[in-house]
Amino acid sequence: MDTKELRAMNVDELDGKMNELVESSFTLRFQHGTGQLENTARLKQIKRDIARINTIRREKEKNLR
């Protein structure tokens, strides 16, 4: 996910995207544990996207105060 796309979203949209990524992360970790995951790089990518969303969300909340 591109940072520009995330910055264009509001806080509610970021929360929704965060929930999607957390669910995807759970699914991928489960697949990895059972040996069914083929693209292990996706785990790292999702973790980075979650961190990126958290950072942008905090920036937006800080600017609203």
For 30-65, what is each residue's pLDDT tens digit?
A: 999 999 999 999 999 999 999 999 999 999 989 876
In whole angstroms, what separates CA 34 from the centre of its chain?
Answer: 23
> What is the model's pLDDT at position 1?
78
Q: Does domain 3-64 have CATH number 1.10.287.310?
A: yes
Mean pLDDT on 2-30? 95
**Identity of the amino acid at 40:** T
3-state secondary structure of 10: coil
> What is the model's pLDDT at position 63?
87
List the chain domain ranges.
Answer: 3-64
